A and B are shown apart, each in its own frame.
Chain A
Amino acid sequence: MTETLDLGTFVQHRDGTAHMDLAVEGVACAACVHKIEGSLLGLPGVVAARLNFTNRRLAVEWREDEVAAVDLITALERIGYRAHPFQPDSAETEEARTTRFLTKCLAVAGFAAMNIMLLSVSVWSGATDMPQETRDFFHWLSALIALPAAAYAGQPFFQSAWRAIRTRQLNMDVPISLGVLLALGMSLVETATHSQHAYFDSAVMLLFFLLCGRALDHVMRRKTRAVAGNLAALKAEFAHRLDGAELVRVPAAAVKVGDRLLVRPGDRVPADGVVLNGNSEIDESLVTGETARRTIMASAMIHAGSVNFSGTLTMRVTAAGSGTLIDEVERLLENAVAAKSRYVRLADRAARLYAPVVHATAALTLTGWLAAGASVHDAIVTAIAVLIITCPCALALAIPAVQIVASGALFRAGVILNAGDAIERLSEVDTIVFDKTGTLTLPEPRVANAAEIDPDLLQRAARLALSSRHPLAAAVAKEAFERKPFEGATEVPGQGVRAMIDGTEARLGSLAFCGIDGRDAIEVGTSIIAFRHGERSAVLSVRQALRHDARETATALRAMGLELIILSGDRTEAVAPIAAALDIAAWRGGLKPAEKIAVIDELKAQGRRVLMVGDGLNDAPALAAAHVSLSPISATDIAQAQADAVFLSERLAPVRDTLVLARRARRLMQENLWLAVIYNAVAVPVAILGFVTPLIAAAAMSGSSILVTLNALRARLPAQSTGARAP
């Protein structure tokens, strides 16, 4: 049966030309840019092709009557690049818009701060011999620049402060907005009354510094989102849809309820549905954590993410029905998300303490000066000077600065953050709950007895396995050093694959196919595949293997004072050896999603802060219920959506790196907060006594901001402990 590829969902049409975005794998150097763009522009009908090297995405425009979308992808494949059609998700588009707006605000604030500072420096340096008219003229000019600039560039802070006040909350933006508005208002009054001091420069410079922090934060987040988006595109799978008798290959995302799909052996089931006909065994380890395969026949429910093992299936896509696993998971997920108490960020907690203290100090200053017999005007000016000098520039930068450096370091270590406050929550963890299948073990099964087999024989078996689509063969194929299949290899459906090697027939497949006596499976969760080449033969056992560094990581995590627990959906006999190998005493097997949540709730009730590490559909509710959660990149989409961070590596070390980095970041955040407090302790008495001039305010503000930013730069991982690199 021939098959056509339908990429319709990814193609946008604009007056006569079609447009598509592609995520491209393997772009590494300057030459790639020209090779890729050149090869596409060489095709007839391609109007434009532009590769964005920063996020590895390619935008192509072409005339549809001359060339098809599929040809573009094949053209790229011919020159050695795999390209995946791609649609930016709404979160990413939103992030891009925010970043752009913040950059504009930053530019406006920067322009205003520079020009006002130019005028202010003239006023300060000529304070004694400058005629009053000139000084007033400079002040009015400053006001002319500062007021519109602050109205535009202050929007992110004013909006956030207003939202907080409306919900009767306090965040850091409230004292910031108040400080800026009061500084501008007072300066305006002072200018009108021909006074010597105006604080336009301080107000705008404050906005500029804070916007620097915010813009950088968003640039970092945008970068991680782009990588996450590319990975999703790379992972996206295709489904084989039956349109009548015709077979169409469509992206799994485009599959709709009611579609009839064909699932061949070795394919991943692309959507939830019911089997119409066919018999097979499916591996549901990504769904339930169960490593033993399930036999299915017509009218059985199957879930997205399962791997079809033996027979070809026809299925109909269905919406989640009541009583199915997916329905239960969704219901539990809803409860878990609803029950999750909103975490109060460190910055907001600091703001709640800080704002009342500062405002009370300003009020006390006002009454104190009035009681001491100062004029109302002088008392108000001094009180506002207190507010300006305490305006939380350093305090507002103290946490975001660390956040930016830490999330950058995590990104380089191969960990992508989903939630903004994940670093803070990660630093509080004292208990880690691991899922077994796909988390402690590698997501794909491996040959367990590879060390016992003659390396030469194993290599031949592995190269032969490259010609088979069977999942067990895929595990054997991973052992191949040379990824070159044997010529003329043929697959015998349901039995194995054979080829002539050096004039002798070689077979890889079931024991019977290779003519070897023996039982099929020795223990639960282990599968047997046999190889025969002439007189020599080997029996390979394939099963889920531990991640290579699982043992060291478990030991290192225990050394950090963390308690480790395994909660698995797999049967007890399969969990026990893993727990023993990792020396983890607290483990349970055969758990349903609801039971995993129950255990986590129990731990939470004991006052523990739980980090859940899991990948399966069955882990999703537990990931949502835990204090903070991590997923490997191989996890199901539902699990990844719930996880606070995703790690890319085949190793388990990122879990440790993440926690080490989060704890370091937390310490630096607290240090920074203390630095800000010390700064205030020095500056506030000066302000209360009325010695603050605009010059002192400007110097103090920049000094403290630079200090906390420099301290934040220490939030990087020491070189020796960084794990895998991000692509």
Chain B
Amino acid sequence: MNVLIYLVPMALALGLTGLAAFLWSLRNGQYDDIEGAALRILGDDDVSG
């Protein structure tokens, strides 16, 4: 059962990373325009910008 000593903290750390990433994206306004994001990918002049 010694394997738990490092597996459990690792699992928690991974989970917390996911949570932190979500909170960051929320703060960053990634979910403010969900429909627009789906359409922007269709534009082809983004490369220059």
Contacts and interface: CB of A to CB of B under 8 A. Distances in A.
Nearest to B41: A30
B10 to A, nearest CB: 12
Interface string A76-111: 000000000000000000000000100110011001
Contacts of B11: 115, 118
Contacts of A100: 26
Interface of A: 29-30, 33-34, 38, 51-55, 100, 103-104, 107-108, 111, 114-115, 118, 131, 134, 137, 141, 145
B35 to A, nearest CB: 5
Given A38-B45, A111-B19, A137 B4 contact: yes
Contact of A33 (B4, B19, B43): B43
Contacts of A145: 12
Contact of B8 (A38, A111, A141): A141
A141 B31 CA distance: 32
A54 B23 contact: no
5 contacts: A34-B43, A54-B36, A103-B26, A104-B26, A118-B11
Interface in B2-44: 4, 8, 11-12, 15-16, 18-19, 22-23, 26, 31-36, 39-40, 42-43
B40 to A, nearest CB: 6
Closest 6 CB pairs of A and B: A53-B36, A30-B39, A111-B19, A52-B33, A30-B42, A54-B35
A285 B24 CA distance: 52
B23 A107 contact: yes
Interface of B: 1, 4, 8, 11-12, 15-16, 18-19, 22-23, 26, 31-36, 39-40, 42-43, 45
Nearest to B5: A137
Contacts of A53: 33, 35-36, 39
Contacts of B4: 134, 137
Contact of A51 (B12, B15, B18, B36): B36
Q: Which of A114, A115, A118 has the most CB of B within 10 A?
A: A115
Given A103-B26, A115-B15, A52 B32 contact: yes
A118 B18 CA distance: 16
B39 A29 contact: yes
B39 A114 contact: no
Contacts of B16: 111
Given A52-B36, A111-B16, A114-B15, 10 more contacts: A30-B39, A33-B43, A38-B45, A54-B33, A54-B34, A104-B23, A111-B18, A111-B19, A118-B11, A141-B8
Contacts of A118: 11
A134 to B, nearest CB: 6
Nearest to A133: B1
A30 B19 contact: no
A55 B35 CA distance: 9
Contacts of A55: 33
A204 B45 CA distance: 46
A114 B15 CA distance: 9
A118 B4 CA distance: 13
A145 B8 CA distance: 12
Contacts of A54: 32-36
